[in-house]
């Protein structure tokens, strides 16, 4: 070590290593790990090494989980379920509290272990990962305590299969395990193969606490183990990881009835306006993309700077980049540690090379990287255009693109020019502007003048291909609970839709009434030019259009054009819904007769009028929340409409079924493309005259008649449809879930039911997604 | 960057009137400065010695006497006990300066004879500054005349609160002229200015008017040196340097009492500015009790035993 005199010349920082003796002794004592199943560790099976990415040296051997291991773990969880779910909320709260306390007492141990296993700097595991994980257990001890009051009638899903990534191993475990246990589920968790060790330490803590056997099971292994867990007899799958794997899981679970939440990738915008505190924004970039080596799903990886300050901002950012210290993760002076694995390092190299090949210019910190281990110098990519792979693909490394915009509108356009929608960071001292942008970006989490701020009380999760479901807060708890559901009822068969003339059953006398499609507020003929005869007891009721994929395309386009509907006040939407009720009431007798003549209950009309009143009432009352998170921070959970929802309606209750699904959707500001009951489409098409006279803007409700499953498939495959509701048979439900994987749209497949009672908060929850906006304040 | 003294520039509001300083973000960065960096063993010892090199050892009390000032100067000459110095392998360690009231300058100069330790004097109606300008300028000339090589002036806070930048500029420029060859540190009394935007703007006006150093506090405001305020001022002097090429010094003062504080502020300077700003020509710590804590920490470094202040000479 240099002398004090020498250091006075250089004023270097010198090494400041965190001691790791306790942890390495633990690893040496354990050596080879089995799985944690039914409260005990199994004998190690076929093992693989968990390496320290900073050295490439093995830390321990862990077992590759087999199908049998998964089966055993699920069995243990299943066995433990009745007793665990049967505990009072208070009793479960005590267990969660005990876990939180024990984690807290092992804080330094877990921090050091996490850093060894993952490569992240000790500062981050010590100041971010572990404290947040502990906070998550405390917070959910609270939810367990309150569950009977706050979620009356709800039940746990049962056994939850949970698959977590390697970027925040213990924290992601906490995000998954804490709410699951609080809600009364038991879990089988598979940590990432690169970073299994803190999960195994957590297993020991569960044993130390004396958690009942089988409540928490941990099976280590790679993607094959994860696939086995997805296929196993579990009631819910919760996954955090890549969009690619999320899609596979969506397809694999389609039609299985397993609940699913997915927290996937991102390519999140980091928007710097001209009036921002540029130095603060520079530090924001440090906390965004140079945090955790950039291996953060919500990292601000696309920096968008206003042209007027872009040069100044880039200069400041480049100067800051030069100050970053990259190296030994256990050193307390390290800003950036090791990339988790050589495979990931290679991926970063590849994507950056592709970005450069496509014309981007890399500015990288000129730091001395350690001679061994997986390290990558942080940087920024300039001159990347929207099609550049580095702008499109999630790099998951410490490099952000930096490009410019001219106006706030253009900033939003660029921000949303991505298939993802996880987070956004907005920098401006003008709160009017910042909030405007916050409402316009497609992102589940928005930070204003901040980035990567987390708290257990706030929901976290994405839109679009960043997944669905939220973790944290009330909404995160809801994702681990089942609502009291209605009894499923058999679906009426639609029969074949025949385009040929039906000569045997002449239509009733009088002026012929022709139903058309209703698209963009206009009645239109089907693209196919075909119609089919709607019959009742062999008698032709009328002709309905045979809609096809082009009609669906046109309807979705019309729905997108009606985006203003999502921006008007709840009061405005309520007025339209009331007006619909009023105009339907004026024609009540006619609608009742039509239903009666086709064998349906005339009571559907009165119930539909009431439903319109019900959702008119809700339109301005389905409030968001202000979350209790950090000091001096308004954390707002805002209910936002999805945008365009596809709805395949039940055949039974052709009017009320249609209304029960369409009305809550539009009450929340969505636009819908609805496929009405094929056996009695007129119940819906008769409504378009009511809509026309009720000031419902064209395009808010679009009706395409025809074969339900065929049209639903086109909707499910449509990349510009954000959510899909399907009421029908299990085959159709499976199809919709599988086809929705392409753009990872949120699906709701619901069985036919007694529609007279089909209303309530669940419909509104399904019709909206929560955007969490963080607004720190303070002068 | 020029090593010449900052001559000042004409008042230019466009350098600061639309400045955005986000308080929560500034606080968050300030909080991270000390969690991102850590100093151990010889490095910590060296940085603590460096803090002494950069220290304006200060007494600014109503009961100051010439003897009291002489005692302070004795400590400035020999801030560390001999055995500590020997243990560190150093000699000739002194503080950066001593800082006293104008009437105490002569006593300090006498007490520091034979050393190169400069005497700094507060002036201009310290601490409130609410005296007629001609008297404040006369006070500067008096202190310089008495032998002060550095003058710590206070600004009229009202000019900042009323955004009367011209008045502020004129006052500081006049003070700079009165200082002559003595270096001028402009005390902004940031605890009175409250907002970080005010702090940035006052910093920029002071530098435009020719300040050699900008300094946070008199030590008499309700809140004195804090890391977020310091960060804002340092960013202002960095921006001034980027525009003019002149290097401005920074002096946090008041409220910093521990060795840990000494490290925190040095980390701030190194991270935001670089090693040049860890030398006494560009960085001073205005403190009175911090030295005692540093000496105790260094004794521990040398002996491995925890120290008692009663074994160290008081200032």
In terms of phi and psi (left: phi > 0; alpha: psi -120 to 50; beta: otherwise), the region of A87 is beta
Tell which A residues from 628 to 657 touch B, by Cβ distance under 8 Å: 632-633
Cβ of B23 within 8 Å of Cβ of A778? The answer is yes
Chain B positions touching A429 (Cβ under 8 A) are: 20, 22
Sheet with strand B285-287: strands edge to edge: B249-251, B213-215, B183-187, B150-154, B119-123, B97-100, B55-58, B285-287
**Is pLDDT of A507 > 70?**
no
B313: closest CA among B89, B109, B148, B85? B85
- What average pLDDT does the segment A711-721 reach? 98
- Which of A3, A11, A777 has the CB atom closest to B275's CB atom? A11
- What average pLDDT does the segment A3-27 reach? 98
What is the interface pTM, i.e. ipTM, of the complex?
0.98
Would strands A531-536 and A539-545 be described as parallel, antiparallel, or unpaired?
A: antiparallel
B194 is catalytic: no
Cβ of B89 within 8 Å of Cβ of A4? The answer is yes
Give the distance from residue A569's alpha carbon to the nearest chain B alpha carbon, in angstroms. Answer: 32
User: What would the DSSP string read from start to end of A617-656?
Assistant: HHHTT---EEE--STTEEEEEEEEE-SEEEEEPPSSSTTH
- Which of A276, A332, A778 has the CB atom closest to B24's CB atom? A778
Q: State whether residue A701 is helix, strand or coil.
A: strand
Convert the pLDDT of each residue in A647-683 to its tens digit.
Answer: 999 999 999 999 999 999 999 999 999 999 999 999 9
Chain B positions touching A283 (Cβ under 8 A) are: 25, 28-29, 32
Sort B144 into a burial class: Cβ within 10 Å, 0-12 / 13-18 / 19+. buried
- Which of A123, A323, A777 has the CB atom closest to B271's CB atom? A323
DSSP state, residue A77: H
Confidence tier at A496 by pLDDT (50, 70, 90):
confident
How far CA A675 is from CA of A366, A515, A700, A705, in Å, comes to: 59, 14, 14, 6
User: What would the DSSP string read from start to end of A711-723?
Assistant: HHHHHHH-TT--E
Chain B positions touching A3 (Cβ under 8 A) are: 42, 89
What is the rounded CA–CA span in Å between residue B82 and residue B89?
10
A278 touches chain B (CB under 8 A): yes
B201 is catalytic: no
Convert the pLDDT of each residue in A173-209 to its tens digit.
Answer: 999 999 999 999 999 999 999 999 999 999 999 999 9
The percentage of chain A sitting over the pLDDT mark of 70, rounded to a whole number, equals 99
Indicate the average pLDDT of chain A: 96
Residue A633: the pLDDT is 97
DSSP state, residue A486: P
Would strands A155-156 and A36-37 be described as parallel, antiparallel, or unpaired?
A: unpaired
Contacts of B140 (CB under 8 A, 6+ apart): B123, B124, B151, B153, B175, B178, B179, B182
**Is pLDDT of A540 > 90?**
no
- Which of B24, B25, B43 has the CB atom closest to A13's CB atom? B43
Q: Which of B212, B215, B261, B293 is catalytic?
A: B215
Tell which A residues from 552 to 581 touch B, by Cβ distance under 8 Å: none
- Which of B25, B38, B45 has the CB atom closest to A449's CB atom? B25
The percentage of chain A sitting over the pLDDT mark of 90, rounded to a whole number, equals 94
Cβ of B42 within 8 Å of Cβ of A1? The answer is yes
Cβ of A280 within 8 Å of Cβ of B89? The answer is no
Residue A510: the pLDDT is 75
Cβ of B27 within 8 Å of Cβ of A778? The answer is yes
Is-contact A277 A429, C-beta < 8 A?
A: yes
Cβ of B37 within 8 Å of Cβ of A284? The answer is no
At A201, which helix (H) or strand (E)? helix A197-209
- What average pLDDT does the segment B125-138 reach? 98
What is the rounded CA–CA span in Å between residue B81 and residue B313?
8
* pTM summary value: 0.97
Give the distance from residue B29's alpha carbon to the nearest chain A alpha carbon, in angstroms. Answer: 7
Chain A positions touching B16 (Cβ under 8 A) are: none
Interface mutation target, options B18, B23, B24, chain A, most CBs of A under 10 Å: B24
- Which of B23, B39, B266 has the CB atom closest to A779's CB atom? B23
CA dihedral of residues A695, A700, A703, A709 (deg, nearest 10): -160
**Is pLDDT of A471 > 70?**
yes
Convert the pLDDT of each residue in A375-387 to its tens digit.
Answer: 999 999 999 999 9
Residues of A assigned a catalytic role: 263, 297
B150 bridge partner residues: B120, B183
Is-contact A220 A191, C-beta < 8 A?
A: yes
**Is pLDDT of A505 > 90?**
no
Contacts of B82 (CB under 8 A, 6+ apart): none
Residue B1: the pLDDT is 84
Convert the pLDDT of each residue in A632-643 to its tens digit.
Answer: 999 999 999 999
Give the 3-state secondary structure of chain B.
CECCCCCCCCCCHHHCCCCCCCHHHHHHHHHHHHHHCCCCHHHHHHHHHHHHHCEEEECCCCCCCHHHHHHHHHHHHCCCCHHHHHHHCCCCCCCCEEEECHHHHHHHHHHCCCCCCCEEEEECCCCCCCCCHHHHHHHHHHHHHHCCCEEEEECCHHHHHCCCHHHHHHHHHHHHHHHCCCEEEEECCHHHHCCHHHHHHHHHHHHHCCCCEEECCCCCCCCCCCHHHHHHHHHHHHHHHHHHCECCEEECECCCCCHHHHHHHHHHHHHHCCHHHHCCCCECEEECCHHHHHHHHHHHHHHCCCCCHHHCCCC
DSSP state, residue A294: G
Give the count of Cβ contacts less than 8 A between chain A and B.
101
What is the rounded CA–CA span in Å between residue A142 and residue A92?
10
In terms of phi and psi (left: phi > 0; alpha: psi -120 to 50; beta: otherwise), the region of B163 is left
What is the rounded CA–CA span in Å between residue B19 and residue A275?
8
A408: closest CA among A374, A432, A389, A387? A432
Residue A503: the pLDDT is 79
- Which of B38, B50, B88 has the CB atom closest to A333's CB atom? B38
Q: Which residue has the tokens 């950069």?
A: B54
Chain B positions touching A12 (Cβ under 8 A) are: 43
What is the rounded CA–CA span in Å between residue A467 and residue A681?
33
- Which of B32, B39, B90 has the CB atom closest to A14's CB atom? B39
The nearest alpha carbon in chain B to A775 belongs to: B24
b/e map of A120-141 (b: 16 or more CB within 10 Å)? bbbbbbbbbbbbbbbbbbbbbb
Cβ neighbour number for residue B4 with a 10 Å cutoff: 9
Is-contact B187 B124, C-beta < 8 A?
A: no
Interface mutation target, options B27, B46, B240, B266, chain A, most CBs of A under 10 Å: B46
Contacts of A399 (CB under 8 A, 6+ apart): A289, A294, A301, A348, A352, A362, A364, A378, A379, A380, A381, A390
Interhelix angle A107-118/A130-150, nearest 10 degrees: 120
**φ/ψ (deg, to 5) at A427:** -120, 115
**Is pLDDT of A495 > 80?**
no
Is-contact A340 A197, C-beta < 8 A?
A: no
The first and second tokens of residue A610, run together, are: 């009431």
Cβ of B25 within 8 Å of Cβ of A776? The answer is yes
What is the rounded CA–CA span in Å between residue A768 and residue A670?
8
Domain annotation for chain B: domains and CATH numbers: 21-309 (3.20.20.70)
The nearest alpha carbon in chain A to B26 belongs to: A280
The nearest alpha carbon in chain A to B198 belongs to: A779
Residue A405: the pLDDT is 98
Output A99-103 pairs: Cβ under 8 A, ≥24 positions apart.
A99/A137, A99/A178, A99/A205, A99/A206, A99/A209, A99/A211, A100/A134, A100/A137, A100/A138, A100/A141, A102/A205, A102/A208, A102/A209, A103/A130, A103/A133, A103/A134, A103/A137, A103/A202, A103/A205
DSSP state, residue A39: T
Cβ of B24 within 8 Å of Cβ of A450? The answer is yes
Domain annotation for chain A: domains and CATH numbers: 35-43+64-264+478-482 (3.40.605.10), 268-461 (3.40.309.10), 517-771 (3.40.605.10)
Convert the pLDDT of each residue in A393-431 to its tens digit.
Answer: 999 999 999 999 999 999 999 999 999 999 999 999 999
Output A593-601 pairs: Cβ under 8 A, ≥24 positions apart.
A594/A682, A594/A683, A594/A686, A595/A654, A595/A655, A595/A680, A595/A683, A597/A536, A597/A541, A598/A534, A598/A536, A598/A541, A598/A654, A598/A680, A598/A682, A599/A536, A599/A537, A600/A653, A600/A654, A600/A655, A600/A680, A600/A683, A601/A653
**φ/ψ (deg, to 5) at A683:** -55, -35
Convert the pLDDT of each residue in B216-238 to its tens digit.
Answer: 999 999 999 999 999 999 999 99
Convert the pLDDT of each residue in B109-131 to its tens digit.
Answer: 999 999 999 999 999 999 999 99
Is-contact B191 B199, C-beta < 8 A?
A: no
**Is pLDDT of A494 > 70?**
no
Indicate the average pLDDT of chain B: 97
What is the rounded CA–CA span in Å between residue A315 and residue B239?
12
Residue A491: the pLDDT is 78
Range in A259-268, A505-514, B201-210, B292-301 the model is least confident about: A505-514
Cα within 13 Å of Cα(A204), Cβ side: 13
E strands present in A512-561? 517-519, 522-524, 531-536, 539-545
Tell which A residues from 740 to 779 touch B, by Cβ distance under 8 Å: 776-779
Count of residues in chain A = 779
Cβ of A277 within 8 Å of Cβ of B46? The answer is no
A280 touches chain B (CB under 8 A): yes
What is the rounded CA–CA span in Å between residue A346 and residue A336?
17
Cβ of B49 within 8 Å of Cβ of A776? The answer is no
Chain A positions touching B26 (Cβ under 8 A) are: 277, 280
Confidence tier at A493 by pLDDT (50, 70, 90):
low
The first and second tokens of residue A638, run together, are: 């805002």
- What average pLDDT does the segment A709-720 reach? 97
Q: Which of B56, B75, B152, B192 is catalytic?
A: B152
- What average pLDDT does the segment B303-313 reach? 94
Tell which B residues from 36 to 55 touch A, by Cβ distance under 8 Å: 36-43, 45-47, 49-50, 53
């Amino acid at each position: 070590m240099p002398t004090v005199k020498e250091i006075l010349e250089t004023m270097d920082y010198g090494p400041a290593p965190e001691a790791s003796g306790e942890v390495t002794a633990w690893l040496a004592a354990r050596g080879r790990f089995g799985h944690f199943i039914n409260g005990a560790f199994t004998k190690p099976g076929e093992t693989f090494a968990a390496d320290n990415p900073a050295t490439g040296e093995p830390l321990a051997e862990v077992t590759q989980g087999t199908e049998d291991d998964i089966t055993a773990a699920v069995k243990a969880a299943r066995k433990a379920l009745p007793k665990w779910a049967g505990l009072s909320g208070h009793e479960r709260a005590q267990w969660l509290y005990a876990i939180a306390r024990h984690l807290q007492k092992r804080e330094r141990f877990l921090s050091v272990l996490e850093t060894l296993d993952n490569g992240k700097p000790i500062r981050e595991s010590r100041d971010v990962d572990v404290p947040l994980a502990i906070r998550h257990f405390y917070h959910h001890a609270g939810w367990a305590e309150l569950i009977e009051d706050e979620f009356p009638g709800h039940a746990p899903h049962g056994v939850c299969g949970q698959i977590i990534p390697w970027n925040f191993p213990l924290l992601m475990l906490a995000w998954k395990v804490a709410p699951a246990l609080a809600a009364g589920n038991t879990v089988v968790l598979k940590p990432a193969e690169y970073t299994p060790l803190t999960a195994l330490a957590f297993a020991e803590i569960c044993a130390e606490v004396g958690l009942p056997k089988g409540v928490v099971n941990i099976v280590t292994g790679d993607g094959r183990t994860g696939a086995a867990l997805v296929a196993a007899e579990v009631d819910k799958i919760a996954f955090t990881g890549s969009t690619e794997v999320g899609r596979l899981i969506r397809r694999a679970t389609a039609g299985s009835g397993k609940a699913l939440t997915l927290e996937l990738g991102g390519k999140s915008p980091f928007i710097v306006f001209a009036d921002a505190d540029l130095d603060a924004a520079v530090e924001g970039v440090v906390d965004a993309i140079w945090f955790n080596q950039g291996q953060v799903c919500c990292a601000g990886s696309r920096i968008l700077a206003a042209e007027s300050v872009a040069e100044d901002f880039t200069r400041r950012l480049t100067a800051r980049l030069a100050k970053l210290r990259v190296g030994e993760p256990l050193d307390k002076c390290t800003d950036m540690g090791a990339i988790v694995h050589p495979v990931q390092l290679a991926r970063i190299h590849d994507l950056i090379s592709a970005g450069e090949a496509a014309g981007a210019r890399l500015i990288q910190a000129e730091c001395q990287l350690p001679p061994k281990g997986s390290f990558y110098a942080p940087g920024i990519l300039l001159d990347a255009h929207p099609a550049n792979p580095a702008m499109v693909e999630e790099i998951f490394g410490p490099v952000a693109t930096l490009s410019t915009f001219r106006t706030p509108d253009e900033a939003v356009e660029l921000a949303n020019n991505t298939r993802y929608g996880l987070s956004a960071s907005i920098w401006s001292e003008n709160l009017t502007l910042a909030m405007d942008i916050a409402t316009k970006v497609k992102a589940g989490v928005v930070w204003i003048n901040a980035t990567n701020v987390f708290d257990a009380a706030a929901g976290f999760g994405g839109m679009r291909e960043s997944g669905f479901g939220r973790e944290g807060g009330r909404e995160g708890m809801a994702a681990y609970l089942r609502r009291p559901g209605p009894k499923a009822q058999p679906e009426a068969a639609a029969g074949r839709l025949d385009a040929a003339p039906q000569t045997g059953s002449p239509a009733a006398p009088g002026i012929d009434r022709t139903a058309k499609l209703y698209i963009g507020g206009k009645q239109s003929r089907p693209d196919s030019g075909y119609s089919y005869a709607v019959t009742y007891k062999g008698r032709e009721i009328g002709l309905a259009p045979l809609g096809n994929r082009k009609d669906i395309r046109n309807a979705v386009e019309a729905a997108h054009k009606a985006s203003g509907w999502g921006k008007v006040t709840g009061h405005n939407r309520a007025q339209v819904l009331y007006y619909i009720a009023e105009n339907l009431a004026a024609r009540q007798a006619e609608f009742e007769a039509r239903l009666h003549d086709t064998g349906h209950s005339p009571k559907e009309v009165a119930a539909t009028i009431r439903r319109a009143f019900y959702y008119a009432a809700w339109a301005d009352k389905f409030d968001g929340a202000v979350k209790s998170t950090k000091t001096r921070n308004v954390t707002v959970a805002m209910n936002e409409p999805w945008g365009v929802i596809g709805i395949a309606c039940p055949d039974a209750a052709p009017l009320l079924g249609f209304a029960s699904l369409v009305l809550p959707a539009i009450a929340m500001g969505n636009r819908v493309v609805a496929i009405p009951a094929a056996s009695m489409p007129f119940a819906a098409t008769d409504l378009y005259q009511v809509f026309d006279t009720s000031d419902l803007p064209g395009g808010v409700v679009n009706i395409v008649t025809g074969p339900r499953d065929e049209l639903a498939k086109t909707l499910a495959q449509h990349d510009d449809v954000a959510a899909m509701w399907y009421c029908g048979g299990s085959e159709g439900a499976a199809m919709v879930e599988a086809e929705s994987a392409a753009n990872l749209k949120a699906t709701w497949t619901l069985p036919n039911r007694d529609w007279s009672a089909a209303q309530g908060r669940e419909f509104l929850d399904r019709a909206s997604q929560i955007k969490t906006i963080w607004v720190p304040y303070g002068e | 960057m020029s090593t010449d003294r900052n001559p000042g520039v004409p008042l230019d509001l466009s350098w600061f009137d639309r400045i955005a300083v986000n308080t929560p973000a500034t606080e968050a960065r300030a909080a991270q400065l000390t969690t991102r960096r850590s100093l151990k063993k010889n490095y910590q010892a060296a940085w603590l010695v460096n803090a002494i090199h950069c220290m304006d050892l200060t007494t600014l009390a109503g009961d100051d006497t010439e003897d009291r000032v002489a005692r302070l100067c004795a400590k400035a000459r020999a801030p560390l006990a001999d055995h500590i110095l020997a243990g560190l392998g150093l000699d000739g360690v002194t503080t950066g300066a001593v800082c006293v009231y104008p009437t105490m300058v002569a006593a300090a100069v006498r007490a520091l004879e034979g050393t190169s330790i400069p005497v700094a004097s507060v002036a201009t109606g310290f601490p409130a500054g609410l005296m007629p300008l001609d008297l404040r300028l006369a006070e500067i000339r008096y202190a310089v005349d008495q032998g002060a090589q550095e003058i710590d002036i206070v600004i009229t806070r009202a000019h900042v609160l009323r955004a009367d930048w011209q008045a502020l500029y004129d006052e500081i420029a006049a003070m700079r002229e009165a200082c002559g060859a003595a270096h001028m540190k402009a005390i902004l009394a940031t605890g009175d200015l409250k907002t970080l935007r005010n702090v940035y703007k006052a910093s920029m006006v002071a530098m435009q008017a020719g300040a050699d150093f900008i300094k946070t506090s008199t030590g008499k405001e309700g809140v004195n040196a804090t890391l977020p305020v310091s960060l804002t001022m340092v960013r202002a002097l960095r921006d001034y340097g980027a525009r003019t090429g002149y290097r401005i010094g920074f002096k946090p003062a008041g409220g910093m009492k521990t060795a840990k504080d000494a490290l925190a502020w040095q980390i701030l300077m190194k991270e935001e500015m670089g090693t040049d700003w860890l030398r006494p020509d560009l960085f001073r710590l205005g403190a009175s009790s911090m030295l005692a804590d540093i000496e105790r920490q260094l004794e521990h470094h040398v002996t491995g035993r925890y120290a008692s202040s009663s074994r160290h000479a008081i200032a």
